[in-house]
């Protein structure tokens, strides 16, 4: 199962997220749950990098199955708003996958 953990500040802002595990929906290369979760998360991270000019701290597992992204603190309001909108879109997309394939992916907030 893929576990998507979304970490939020006391104000509700996304400060980090971790994806870990494997969906095991199908064999490697045919796993649509893994492909969907990967596309959503990497797309969001690439959008943050490209559109906001910030450098999140990114840690990837060597053989896949692990991605941790931490958002820098003390961003100006405009940049923070952009980052949050992109990441909230990622969460909505992950939750959409979870609704259809809940036995293979879990999205939790911490």
Residues 6 or more apart whose CB falls under 8 angstroms from that of 17 comprise: 4, 5, 6, 7, 41, 68, 69, 87, 90
- 22 catalytic? Reply is yes
Which residue's structure tokens are 């959503």? 40
- Among residues 1, 7, 22, 66, the one annotated as catalytic is 22
Is 109 known to be catalytic?
no
For residues 72 and 55, the answer to whether their CB atoms sit within 8 Å is: yes
Catalytic residue among 34, 48, 67, 71: 34
For residues 5 and 7, give the distance between their C-alpha atoms in angstroms, rounded to a whole number: 6
Catalytic residue IDs: 22, 34
């Amino acid at each position: 199962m893929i576990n998507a953990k979304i970490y939020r500040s006391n104000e509700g802002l996304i400060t980090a997220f971790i994806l870990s595990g494997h969906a095991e929906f199908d064999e490697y290369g045919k796993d649509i749950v893994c492909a969907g979760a990967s596309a959503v998360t990497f797309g969001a991270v690439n959008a943050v990098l490209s559109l906001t000019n910030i450098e999140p701290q990114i840690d990837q597992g060597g053989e896949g199955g692990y991605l941790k992204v931490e958002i820098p603190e003390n961003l100006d309001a405009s940049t923070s708003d952009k980052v949050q909108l992109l990441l909230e879109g990622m969460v909505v997309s992950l939750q959409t996958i979870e609704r259809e394939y809940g036995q293979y992916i879990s999205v939790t907030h911490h």
